Amino acid sequence: MPTRPRTLGELKRTGYRSRSIKDEMRTNLIARMRAGGPLFEGIHGYEDTVIPALERAVLAGHSINLLGLRGQAKTRMARSLVGLLDEFVPVVQGSEINDDPFLPVSGQARELVAAMGEDTPIEWLHRDQRYTEKLATPDVTVADLIGDSDPIKAANLGLDYSDERVIHFGLVPRSHRGIFVINELPDLQPRIQVALFNILQEGDVQVRGFKLRLPLDIQFIFTANPEDYTNRGAIITPLKDRIQSQILTHYPGSLDLGRRITEQEARSPEGQPDRVVVPDLLVELIERIAIEARSSEYVDQKSGVSARLTISALESLRSAVERRAIRSGADRSVARVADLQAVLPAIVGKVELVYEGEQEGPEKVAHHLLALAVRNAFSAYYPDPGKLRKRKAVEDPYADVISFFDGGSLDLPDAATDREHAEALSRIPGLFDLVNKEQPRSSPIDRVVQAEFVLHGLAEHSRIGRSALAGAMRFTDLFRTMFADGPDDADEGEADE
């Protein structure tokens, strides 16, 4: 690899030409588009909506506001735009604000270039160092973003406060020739938002009342939730007017897209994949929980339901299965429908409830969302029990399974090994025959999961009863469950056994 120039003179002799940050991103985007490469890696579902809008904004050289509900990859996309920067750019050595050797803007850099000429030392800045991100909070000050005079510098150097050399530059000047991101922009106090006017419109900043003005070169990216959700604040109209492109983000448009995102983002600690098997059905049910939440009357739809809900839920499910494998001494264990009880904590903390939801209670709402996910998924795999009841002339495919619970019951302990779990399910006449008929392509592992799924589906359609015991799931006839008053009755039944 050739040695990079170390002085201004060496840089000039290479024929290097300076360009603005927006020209740089535009040029690199065009090259990537012509090569057929994607704008983002790992971003799914935005190919026909958000990404084209972002490409247009970059080609136009616009500042950008990514507007959308929580968990829609806004910050991730902003960070990924770093890939459109040149890998390295030259800066004046020691510059606080990444001064271009050809176009220095700070007094320090200008004086150095004037004094040393072509011997001015330069260094090379990697693109990762040209990205700055700030979370907007009510305590952010103008000094944090723009800068202020430093009394300690003034005292040590014996200079007046109006001298540029005593100024402490804020985050915005230090982002010169880079990308600056402000997350949750509405949370920024209005008087602080006003401080951004000049840099967005005229391209410069003024530090306090000093005569110093810095013509900065910055690509601004903002992220925000819709104004009607962010009750803590709003984007003031003059600032909104100065942001040139506002791009709306959204949740995945299909279950398959949601699954793809969830499985990509969910973390698996070292060793866990060897001990845990999660069938596709369980991943689908987790995704359906989020889908049900995004249309639930108990959930605040203005707040949204983040993709982090399904990611955390899948991680919780894997951990529950791993825990069983470790405690039972098994090499591995397969996830079960009953294991979805372990994902409830991930749901409770990820949804904002409306008044009706608060009245029900977050845990009860989480159970309700899980029940809806199972119920609605069941009719996609098996004949809908509700429709069968209306068509009395049609033979009931669930008759043998339901008859087993007429006066009988089946306990499925959480701690049972995979073999014990499968053997317990095999005691129900006709259960596996039903699975083989309706899901003939299922693998041996999937058939066991599907068999348990049938029981949960029938329970959700009120064809059999189901109750959660301490450490087990019990299936019985519907009337026994209806006459049980609650956990106390379940515990008594367990004690009698």
The CATH code of the domain that includes 175 is: 3.40.50.300
Domain assignment present for 387:
no
Range with the largest mean pLDDT of 62-66, 153-157, 391-395: 62-66
Name the least confident of 17-21, 157-161, 403-407, 455-459: 157-161
What pLDDT does residue 388 have? 77
Distance CA 493, CA 360 (A): 27
For residues 328 and 477, state if they share a domain: no
For residues 80 and 216, state if they share a domain: yes
- Picking from 385, 403, 382, 389, the residue whose alpha carbon sits closest to that of residue 452 is 382
Domain assignment present for 1:
no
Does residue 414 sit in helix, strand or coil? coil
- Domain, as residue range, for 98: 8-248
**Strands of the 409-413 sheet, one edge to the other:** 409-413, 472-476, 465-469
Domain assignment present for 386:
no
Domain assignment present for 97:
yes
Residue that finishes a domain, picked among 183, 213, 248 = 248
Burial degree of 61 (CB within 10 A; 0-12, 13-18, 19+): middle
Residue that finishes a domain, picked among 324, 348, 381 = 381
**CATH number of the domain to which 314 belongs:** 1.10.8.80
Domain assignment present for 81:
yes
Element (H, E) at 292: helix 280-293
Domain assignment present for 3:
no
Q: Report, as an integer, the average pLDDT of 74-95.
A: 95
Strand 167-169 and strand 147-149: the pairing is antiparallel
Q: What is the pLDDT of residues 311-363, one digit of tens each?
A: 999 999 999 999 999 999 999 999 999 999 999 999 998 898 998 899 999 99
For residues 181 and 223, state if they share a domain: yes
For residues 357 and 257, state if they share a domain: yes
Q: Collect contacts of 412-417 with beta carbons under 8 A, ≥24 apart.
A: 412/336, 412/338, 412/452, 412/472, 412/473, 412/474, 412/475, 413/471, 413/472, 414/324, 414/338, 414/339, 414/471, 414/472, 414/473, 415/324, 415/327, 415/328, 415/471, 417/328, 417/330, 417/333
For residues 328 and 346, state if they share a domain: yes
Q: What is the pLDDT of residues 40-50, one digit of tens each?
A: 888 999 999 99
Q: Collect contacts of 93-96 with beta carbons under 8 A, ≥24 apart.
A: 93/120, 93/121, 93/122, 93/123, 94/121, 96/169, 96/173, 96/174
For residues 473 and 407, state if they share a domain: yes
For residues 18 and 164, state if they share a domain: yes
From residue 375, give the alpha-carbon distance in Å to each of 7, 64, 97, 437, 490. Answer: 70, 42, 58, 20, 23
Q: Are the C-beta atoms of residues 48 and 254 closer than 8 Å to each other?
A: no
For residues 449 and 320, state if they share a domain: no
Domain count of the fold of the chain: 3
Q: Is the pLDDT of residue 276 over 70?
A: yes
Burial degree of 327 (CB within 10 A; 0-12, 13-18, 19+): exposed
For residues 295 and 412, state if they share a domain: no
For residues 462 and 450, state if they share a domain: yes
From residue 143, give the alpha-carbon distance in Å to each of 169, 192, 296, 397. Answer: 8, 10, 44, 71
For residues 237 and 258, state if they share a domain: no
Domain assignment present for 463:
yes
For residues 344 and 213, state if they share a domain: no
Domain assignment present for 83:
yes
Q: What is the pLDDT of residues 116-127, one digit of tens each?
A: 999 999 999 999
Residue that finishes a domain, picked among 213, 248, 283 = 248
Q: Collect contacts of 141-145 with beta carbons under 8 A, ≥24 apart.
A: 141/192, 142/170, 142/191, 142/192, 142/195, 143/168, 143/170, 144/170, 144/171, 145/170, 145/171, 145/172, 145/192, 145/195, 145/196
